[in-house]
Structure formats: C-alpha cells, structure tokens
Amino acid sequence: MNEPAASTPPGAARAHPLMSIGEVLAQLRVEFPDVTISKLRFLEAEGLVEPQRTAAGYRKYSWDDVARLRFVLTAQRDQYLPLRVIREQLAGWDASGEGPDPPRPTLVAVGPGGEVPGRPEADPPAESAQVRMGRVDLVTRSGIDESTLGELERLGIVVSDPPGWYDGDALIIARAVAGLAAYGIQPRHLRGYRTAADREVGLFAQLVAPLARQSDPAARARAAETARELVALSQQLHAALVRVGLRSTVGR
C-alpha cells in the first residue's frame, strides 16, 4: 500500500523532496542489497535517524536522512562498528552542526520486491532463515555436487529443515565450500569450523537470549541486531587472526 504524500508546500517539496520508506529502501539497496524495511525501522527505534511524519503517521525521509543511514550501514559493514559507537559519532556531528556528506540521488529501476534487475545474484539477505529451497536447487545454485552435500550434512556443516528444505545460510555455506574445494580443501577439513562455530553460538547465546526472551518487540529487535554485530565482530577477529598466522608464510 502506497503511503500518502507528505503535506508540504509545493516550493518546499521541489527544493527538498521527501521519500517514503520504500523509496529509501530502493536507494540503499543499490549499495546494501541486504537492507530491509525492518532494518530501517530498527535504526529509527535506536535513535540513529528521525524521519519526518505525515499527519497520518507515515515516514518521510530527506536526503540528509539517507546520508545518515548510508553512513550507519557503511560503518557496520566495513568497520564492524557497534551501534553505540556509531551513535556517539552521529551525536558529535549533530552537536557540531556537521554530518555525513549528503548522497547524490541515484535513479534505479527496482522490482516489486525491491530487487535490482540485472544485478548479479548475491548471497541471501540477513533474513536468510526465511529463504527456502530444495536439494536440487541448492546443488545447482552453489556449484557443489550431491556427494559433497551429503558429506556436509553428515558432518553437520549443512543442515536441512523438515521436510528437506534448505535456507539461505545453507546456500552461503555450500558456495563457500565450493570455493574452498577449488583449492583442494575438502569437507573433511572443515570439521574445525563447525566445532568453533558451536563454541561461539554457546557464548553469544548467553548474551542474546535474555533480550530474545522478552515479549517487547523492541527488545527482540535489539537481540537480532546484537547477534548481527557479534557475528560481524567474530568474522573480523577470525579474518585478522588468519592473516596474522599466514603473514610469515606469504612473506608479508
């Protein structure tokens, strides 16, 4: 359902066009394919952006709001910064009257689901648990064969949901395994990844579970965002440790 237009004078509308949340999503998905409306609402609830509201209560975003959102998403993706640090940086800019550079409008055709036609297929979005595909589809899209998939399931690296559906994370894992196989790394070499991941799950669950158990939707949203940040920080730590370990081998 389309949101009604914001009630602004014609001249002001031409000078400072405002966008609906769907239009903002289309802009951001050019650079951040996994962003969702739920994510934008969560960032608003966390006080990182404050869109205007129409008389009917619909959100209307300015280009400054889009610049702010782009900064937040970039800081999370590229620097793995937690929201607390990002919020402090934005507060400093607000106090000084400065802020992220406003973005240039980007015109892009999008499909009904917000997808960008012609863009190469990317990994499933953050809500990868909602993705569903069959066994044949998983094998076709990932590039692994049936025997490799069977071995991954035997090792507990890929898990299906009854009655045999695979989610987006299964596809990400299978694609990574296919890439590693090109270097001669076989599924049996990946047992340590599963063990290490299970240890991290146990550790992070202790931090996230108290929020996730609350009935308050905002608390559950914070739980999901906390989990996302913990995963991102874990990836950053793991990559750095591997780089350090290989430095003497590659001579850098």
User: Does 198 have pLDDT greater than 60?
Assistant: yes
Look at strands 59-60 and 52-53 and give their pairing: antiparallel
Mean pLDDT over the full length of the chain: 80
The domain locations on the chain are 14-96, 123-185, 198-247
Stretch 98-124: mean pLDDT = 47
Stretch 202-220: mean pLDDT = 86
User: Does 109 have pLDDT greater than 60?
Assistant: no
- The pLDDT value given to residue 98: 67
pTM of the prediction? 0.56
Identify the residue with better confidence: 184 or 81: 184
Tell me the pLDDT tens digit for each residue of 8-49: 444 444 446 899 888 898 889 888 888 888 888 888 888 899
Q: What percent of the chain has pLDDT over 70?
A: 80
- The pLDDT value given to residue 216: 79
User: Does 99 have pLDDT greater than 70?
Assistant: no
User: Does 204 have pLDDT greater than 90?
Assistant: yes
Stretch 205-212: mean pLDDT = 89
User: Does 113 have pLDDT greater than 70?
Assistant: no
Sorting pLDDT into bands at 50, 70 and 90, what band is 120? very low
Long-range contacts, 233-238 (Cβ 8 Å, 24+) = 233/80, 233/82, 234/200, 234/204, 235/80, 236/80
- The pLDDT value given to residue 101: 55
Unique residue bearing structure tokens 């990868």:
128
Which CATH number does 123-185 carry? Answer: 1.10.1660
Question: What CATH number does domain 14-96 carry, 3.90.105.10, 1.10.1660.10, 3.90.380.10, 3.40.640.10?
Answer: 1.10.1660.10
Distance, in Å, from the CA atom of 205 to the CA atom of 225, rounded to the nearest integer, reads 13
Sorting pLDDT into bands at 50, 70 and 90, what band is 121? very low
Sorting pLDDT into bands at 50, 70 and 90, what band is 100? low
Identical fold, 14-96 and 123-185: yes
